[in-house]
Amino acid sequence: MRGRKRRTTRRDSRRAAPAPDLLRRDFVADRPNRVWLADITYIPTLEGFLYLAFILDTHSRRIVGWSMDSHMTHMRTELVVDALVEMAVWRRKPSAGLVHHSDRGVQYTAISFGKRLEEVGIVPSMGRTGTALLPALVRWDDARSRRLGQKRAASWGY
């Protein structure tokens, strides 16, 4: 009788443990640059999909940072780092202690992303597994960003 091959699983060494849920689904901020919500979505175009990472300020309900790419291979960490550091932090210059809330996707649990948050003084927060990440607040802005992305994608020739 043959023995079964023993299967082992290990945590990916490039991923960290998820951050605690600091917001507990209370997505309200008393002033700008206190709580940012982050998500990734895709936008269908005639040429394929565009992947959009965006960051929303819960106080102003405005997208403060975004990054877009047409290749899934860049969707790991670079897409969310570009949205966070290259745009949101550079434009808004938040004070230390800002809370960055996201889902538990591989992009947000990557060790390199956690280090970037730490470098700029941002506190990570992640929703619990099995809960819808963001309420209608983000879904409304997500729909708006999809429309904007479709218009721009058509004009950019994607």
Average pLDDT over residues 60-87: 82
Task: Output the average pLDDT for the chain.
Answer: 76
Q: What are phi and psi of 69, to 5 degrees?
A: -150, 150
Q: Is the pTM of this model over 0.85?
A: no
Q: How far is the C-alpha of 80 from the C-alpha of 122, rounded, in Å?
A: 14
- Written out in words, the top-level CATH class of the domain with range 35-156 is alpha beta
Interacting residues of 117 by C-beta distance below 8 A, sequence separation 6+: 84, 100, 123, 124
Residue 148: CB atoms within 10 A of its CB come to 14
Q: How far is the C-alpha of 4 from the C-alpha of 43, rounded, in Å?
A: 44
pLDDT of residue 133: 52
Residue 124: CB atoms within 10 A of its CB come to 20
Question: What is the distance of C-alpha 121 from the center of its chain?
Answer: 17
Q: How far is the C-alpha of 137 from the C-alpha of 27, rounded, in Å?
A: 9
Domain ranges of the chain: 35-156
For residues 148 and 108, the model is more confident at 108
Residue % of the chain over a pLDDT of 70: 67
The band of 158, judged by pLDDT with boundaries at 50, 70 and 90, is very low
